[in-house]
Amino acid sequence: MNAKRNYKNKEDDIFILALESSCDETAASVNKNGLEVLANVVSSQVELHQKFGGVVPEIASRKHLELLLPVIDEALEKAGLEFRDLDAVAATYGPGLVGGLLVGLTAAKAIALSLEIPLIAVNHIAGHIYANFIDNPQIKKPLICLTISGGHTDLLYFEDLKGYEILGRTRDDAAGEAFDKIARYMGLGYPGGPAIEKAAVEGDPQAIDFPRAVMADNSFDFSFSGLKTAVMNYINNQKQKGKEIDQADLAASFQEAVVDSLSSKLLEAVKKYDIKSVVLSGGVAANKRLREVVEAELKEVEIEFYYPSLELCTDNAAMIGAVAYYQYLDRDFASLAISADPSLKL
């Protein structure tokens, strides 16, 4: 697409407005040179969806329509910039809920067209990975990243930040999805991850021996459907026998099974590959027990360990702006004809 000015280079200050609306957070940020976040505004819809036990796509889309423009205005005001100061606009185009993606992407197209600046389409999963570099720009490579969220569980090897190798993926449910489903089945509400973690604080993680999936081909893939079924069967069996269920022990035991499944595969990969760092990304990276276990294991093998701050673990636009900056430097711009891709892969 044509731009109103010459493209800037790495030596110049580059200001990007980034938008994120893939699920139930409406977010806008202004990033300077990628990793310097001048403003990061997030309007969450969690309370709106809690009574339904999960995100209702149509409701989320309508709320994005209502919130996006005020969120953009607030981000620009906090950054002390105006639309004319922007060098590019970025938006998540997948994966996610198609209605929400379309709201953010369409707004970004309108801004790009009216200001004659480049449009940058960003992969949501890549955003979660790059969130680490906002807080920790000194991360050494090569590295292994475990990205874990409500829709994704991926183990990735990065020689540098321009290429990656997929070491393993979930073969069924994502870790975050398992947290949400079990929390709902236990009556703990939404979102499931924080609810399970809170309930597990007073519980015994060894109280119930739930299964961990073992792959016959010794791959780095994950599986959580069997664990999810085992927990649901346990709850049903206890109810049928008229036995009281200790919610804290149940939550702690389930959480420990998920953490063990994730950390064991991660450690296997760390031992196989010559790396300098490990990073966590995605909403489940906020889980304290997971961080504790991984940190202890990596300390023994002397590998540096990083994870984003809590506000950068959950969906936000700053992480989208971080990715967009590097796409800008590569002139990786999108056509105004680009469409949202709810099933987009890395």
Binding site residue list for Fe cation: 124, 128, 315
Q: Name the token pair of 254.
A: 């389930």
Q: Sheet holding 143-148: strands in order across?
A: 163-169, 153-160, 143-148, 277-281, 304-306
Binding site residue list for substrate: 147-151, 180, 193, 197, 287
Binding site residue list: 124, 128, 147-151, 180, 193, 197, 287, 315
- Strand pairing report for 153-160 and 143-148: antiparallel
**CA-closest candidate to residue 324, choices 36, 39, 16:** 16
In single-letter form, the type of residue at position 67 comes to L
Which 3 state secondary structure label does DSSP give 321? helix
Terminal CA-CA length for the chain: 24
| Distance from C-alpha of 200 to C-alpha of 194, rounded to nearest angstrom | 10
**CA-closest candidate to residue 100, choices 149, 57, 152:** 57
- Which runs of consecutive H residues, i.e. helices, occur in the chain? 46-50, 57-79, 98-115, 124-135, 175-186, 192-200, 225-240, 247-272, 288-300, 310-313, 318-329
| Distance from C-alpha of 344 to C-alpha of 101, rounded to nearest angstrom | 11
